[in-house]
């Protein structure tokens, strides 16, 4: 049987499949279906410094080959996670990635300091959130702001730091290089693409927030392209996500340069998707006579 183990920023994972933040909550619902220990890791629900109710509904909408969401980071806050959810997850024999987001650098720094002495294995810094001190532009949309928040968070924690990149930029490789230069140990991409749908009868957007993040199979080719570009631009590990729905998708993403993958929207149509993808990768590697999943990373051969 092929070796599915991978390593990201010094953290070993039993396999390369991680449910993405926002798609898996804190794992309670899914543990009724399979042991969480089957997963390489879990990127938990994105957390803010304080409890957040999120955006008003409607905040989820279907699209062809995907979905739009403007949930707005509804979450119970970092203290609740550390006190109530982390003790539960820490005993599940899987890696725990704490996804954090804030509207100021100070909020993010405060959160990672709280996480520092905990059982969290890795921090995933979501830089797609608006920076309220810079006119509301997302941290991840300029090299300067992406580098700035990465540098501040890097100084505040010794935990492995993975920065989650926004695709809503002109050149994602420039952003990746910027966060790498300020101490990011890994990058994950892509976050959702900004999208919109309109109800032609009411002439109003289908989401109360007007726009939302698009995910699902329709974004997969864009994600593969961006992962390939970033993997060839930085020296740190890349975790790929965006529309992965099958083992074949995961393998393709890893061939583009991802050391591991995150699975998000697919879980809403099939809660067993992460486990099926793990098993499918293993079967494919065995069929091809490949000893380790690490042997396929970055092996695409461009024309």
Spatial distance between the Cα atoms of 263 and 147, rounded to a whole number of angstroms: 26
Q: What does DSSP assign to residue 4?
A: -
Cross-strand pairs, 297 = none
Please name which of 237, 61, 266 lies closest in space to residue 163, comparing C-alpha atoms: 237
Q: Which residues contact 202 (CB under 8 A, 6 or more apart)?
A: none
CA dist 138 and 103 (Å) reads 9
Taking the C-alpha atoms of residue 83 and residue 75, their distance in angstroms, rounded to an integer, is 14
Q: Are strands 6-8 and 11-13 parallel, antiparallel or unpaired?
A: antiparallel
Pull the structure tokens for residue 136: 């509301």
Tell me if 65 sits within 8 A of 218, measured CB to CB.
Answer: yes
Q: Containing H/E element for 203?
A: none
- Structure tokens, 285: 């590697």
Apex 236 CA angle, 235 and 238, nearest 5:
115
User: Is residue 129 flagged as an active site residue?
Assistant: yes
Strand partners, 42: 96
User: Alpha-carbon dihedral of residues 134, 138, 144, 145, nearest 10 degrees?
Assistant: 70
**Which residue numbers are catalytic?**
129
């Amino acid at each position: 049987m092929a070796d599915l183990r991978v390593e990201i920023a010094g953290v070993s994972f039993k396999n390369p499949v991680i449910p993405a933040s926002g798609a898996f909550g804190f794992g309670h619902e899914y543990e009724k279906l399979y042991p969480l220990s089957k997963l390489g890791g879990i990127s938990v629900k994105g957390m803010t410094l304080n409890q957040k109710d999120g955006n008003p509904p409607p905040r989820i909408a279907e699209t062809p080959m995907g979905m739009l969401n403007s949930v707005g980071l509804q979450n119970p806050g970092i203290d609740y996670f550390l006190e109530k959810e982390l003790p539960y997850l820490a005993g599940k024999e899987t890696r725990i990635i704490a996804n954090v987001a804030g509207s100021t650098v100070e909020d993010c720094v405060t959160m990672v300091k709280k996480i520092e002495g905990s059982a969290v294995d890795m921090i995933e810094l979501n830089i797609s959130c608006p920076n309220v001190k810079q006119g509301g532009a997302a941290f991840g949309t300029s090299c300067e702001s992406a580098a700035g928040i990465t540098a501040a968070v890097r100084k505040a924690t010794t935990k492995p730091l993975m920065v989650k990149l926004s695709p809503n930029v002109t050149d994602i490789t420039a952003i990746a290089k910027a966060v790498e230069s300020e101490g990011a140990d890994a990058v994950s991409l892509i976050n959702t693409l900004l999208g919109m749908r309109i109800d032609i009868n009411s002439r109003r957007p289908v989401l109360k927030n007007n726009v939302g993040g698009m995910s699902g199979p329709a974004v997969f080719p864009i994600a593969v392209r961006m992962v390939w570009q970033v993997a060839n631009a930085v020296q740190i590990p890349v975790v790929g996500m965006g529309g992965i729905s099958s083992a074949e998708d995961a393998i393709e993403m890893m061939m583009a340069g991802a050391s591991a993958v995150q699975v998000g929207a697919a879980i809403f149509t099939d809660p067993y998707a992460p486990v099926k993808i793990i098993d499918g990768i293993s079967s494919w590697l065995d069929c091809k006579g490949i000893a380790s999943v690490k042997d396929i990373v970055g092996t695409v051969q461009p024309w």
